[in-house]
Amino acid sequence: EIGVKDVNGDGFREMPDGSPLEVTLDFSATQPPTGVHVRKNEFIAKDWNAIGIKTALNPIPSTSMDELWATGKKMTNADWGVGDGPNHLVYPQWVVPMEPTRWAPLHGNWYLVKGTTREGAEADKDPYERTPPRVAPEPGSSIARLWDLYDQTKVEPDVNKRNKLVWDMIKIHVEDGPFFSGLSANTPAIVLVKKGLNNVPKRDDLALGGFVAPWIHPTPAVYDPETYYWDNPAAH
């Protein structure tokens, strides 16, 4: 559909213009070799190579990870998880590129200086040579419209109107994106519960089967830990 085909018969697809196509799964070299991220990346690379998308694992020194991403020099973040909710405006960075750590890092850096004296500085420099590296979105582009909608939510007092603005942002992701995409979803997570601690909910007790790796949705705190109890309190 996008024109990536194997034109030279080597078993791997090339770009529409015939140039090589290779995806690197970038992750910190400090990740354990048998840990979840390395094993997950191995499965992804195996599957993608099998369908002709040349994919390679690319461990990177941990001291370079953040800088390479923030300066737009990394292809992927393959050792990170996204767990968001319940309100996109509480933690909007996954929906709106307003800082450099999640997606569109150079645009995120621009947003950080937006409205300051630094916004128009270094205009004669290559975006990658600016400090920090940054670029402004094209007028009317997806990111420009996301910024505009997000800025409207900051001053909109009506909750229903704010929610509509969020849906408008999500619609941009659906119609113009994806701008960032996860590689695996709903992966199971192991939770250790000490013997004798009762009433801790299990996966089958929860409407959505639990919530993996949320940052702003305090799990398992929302599962009423005040109702947990020891079968033998004196032993604890």
Decide if 76 is inside a domain. Answer: yes
User: pLDDT at position 105, please?
Assistant: 94
Domain boundary among 26, 45, 80: 80
89: its two tokens? 């405006």
Bond into 33 cis (ω within 30) = no
Q: Could you tell me if 215 and 160 lie in one domain?
A: no
**Angle, alpha carbons 222-90-65 (nearest 5°):** 100
Decide if 87 is inside a domain. Answer: no
As to burial, measured by CB atoms within 10 angstroms (0-12 exposed, 13-18 middle, 19+ buried), residue 34 is exposed
For the ranges 78-82, 90-94, 138-142, 223-227, the lowest mean pLDDT is seen at 78-82
146-151 mean pLDDT: 97
Give me the DSSP letters along 58-80.
EEE-HHHHHHHHHTT--S--TT-
Q: How many percent of the chain have pLDDT more than 70?
A: 97
Tokens 């194997």 correspond to 6
Decide if 192 is inside a domain. Answer: no
Q: Could you tell me if 133 and 102 lie in one domain?
A: yes
Q: Could you tell me if 157 and 98 lie in one domain?
A: yes
Decide if 154 is inside a domain. Answer: yes
Between helices 105-113 and 62-70, what is the axis angle to 10°?
70
27: its two tokens? 């992750």
Q: Could you tell me if 161 and 117 lie in one domain?
A: yes
Asked if the model's pLDDT at residue 14 lies above 70, the reply is yes
Q: Could you tell me if 99 and 169 lie in one domain?
A: yes
Phi and psi angles of residue 203, each rounded to the nearest 5 degrees, phi first: -55, -45
User: pLDDT at position 181, please?
Assistant: 78
* Domain of 22, in residue numbers: 1-80
Decide if 185 is inside a domain. Answer: no
Decide if 201 is inside a domain. Answer: yes
Quote the number of domains for the chain.
Answer: 3
Q: Could you tell me if 106 and 135 lie in one domain?
A: yes
d(C-alpha 101, C-alpha 93), whole Å? 9
User: pLDDT at position 126, please?
Assistant: 94
Asked if the model's pLDDT at residue 85 lies above 70, the reply is no
pLDDT in tens, 172-188: 999 998 888 777 777 77
Domain boundary among 80, 108, 124: 80
Q: Could you tell me if 63 and 24 lie in one domain?
A: yes
Domain boundary among 176, 205, 222: 176
Q: For residue 12, what are the CA distances in angstroms to 76, 120, 162, 219, 236?
A: 20, 44, 46, 42, 59
Q: Could you tell me if 172 and 97 lie in one domain?
A: yes
134-141 mean pLDDT: 95
For the ranges 8-17, 64-73, 92-101, 214-223, the lowest mean pLDDT is seen at 214-223
Q: Could you tell me if 2 and 74 lie in one domain?
A: yes
What is the pTM for the complete model shown? 0.78
156-166 mean pLDDT: 97
User: pLDDT at position 88, please?
Assistant: 85
**Which pLDDT band holds residue 76 (cuts at 50, 70, 90)?**
confident
pLDDT in tens, 191-215: 889 999 999 998 888 877 777 667 7
d(C-alpha 47, C-alpha 55), whole Å? 9
Decide if 126 is inside a domain. Answer: yes
Q: For residue 169, what are the CA distances in angstroms to 38, 56, 143, 166, 223?
A: 33, 33, 10, 5, 30
Q: What is the mean pLDDT of the chain?
A: 90
pLDDT in tens, 17-47: 999 999 999 999 999 999 989 999 999 999 9
How are beta strands 197-198 and 229-230 bridged, if at all? antiparallel
User: pLDDT at position 212, please?
Assistant: 66
Measured distance between the N- and C-terminal CA atoms of the chain, rounded to whole angstroms: 61
User: pLDDT at position 90, please?
Assistant: 85
CB 113 within 8 A of CB 119: yes
Q: Could you tell me if 74 and 113 lie in one domain?
A: no
d(C-alpha 95, C-alpha 21), whole Å? 28
Q: Could you tell me if 71 and 128 lie in one domain?
A: no
Give me the DSSP letters along 173-192.
HHHH--SS--SS-S------
**Which pLDDT band holds residue 138 (cuts at 50, 70, 90)?**
very high
User: pLDDT at position 140, please?
Assistant: 96
Q: Could you tell me if 47 and 105 lie in one domain?
A: no
Length of the chain: 236
Decide if 100 is inside a domain. Answer: yes
